[in-house]
Amino acid sequence: MGRAKNEQAESPSGRTQEQTEEGGAWHEMAMERVLWSGEDIKKRVSELAEQITRDFSGKSLAVVGVATGAVIFVADLVREIQIPVTLDFVRMKSYGNSTTSSGKATCIADISIDVKDKHVLLVEDIIDTGITVSTLVAHFGVKEVASFSVCTLLDKPSRRIIPVQLIPGGKFYRGFECPDEFVVGYGLDYAELYRNVPYIGVLKSHVYS
């Protein structure tokens, strides 16, 4: 933390933020560093979609995104999946305007599609404590689904409180393992801001302290 303003943040591929994203942007001054560029994310999403396509070929797949954080990820992912899918969203509440989880998760808007006997793929932006996804595993467990799998763009296992235990037959897909820092961009927010940043970066501490 505390990077000087004239230093350039690098992605894992060695590209600076200025090289990764075209021109100066409103969000650059708020970032400590870039973790994954837009191109890094695009490549990984394509890889995940390819694996999901193979695993669910010939099966009835329902993709359920967790709003609002996973909306951008879901939109990109489903367009890369090369089999028919149904799509819906569930809305959970756990963070509010804080940088830390409230310790509990509540479903405030359920799906409207029927997922009985379907293979459900839950798509998350990030899994850290495991509280939200564990709540959703239990939530979908009573819907008589054929299987329940999870695809998360970011996984932060160092923050895990509850292990992710899937319904038997489910699969776990992970985009990137995330360091224990507060990250925003590509759907992830702080106080509902920064979701439209086209990369994933670490937010400077003074922004939220």
Q: Which residues does the annotation mark as catalytic?
A: 128
Beta strand 106-109 pairing with 85-93: antiparallel
| CA 142 – CA 137 distance, rounded (Å) | 9
Taking alpha carbons only, the member of 112, 110, 121, 114 closest to residue 59 is 121
Return left, alpha or beta for 14; rule: phi > 0 is left, psi -120 to 50 is alpha, else beta: left
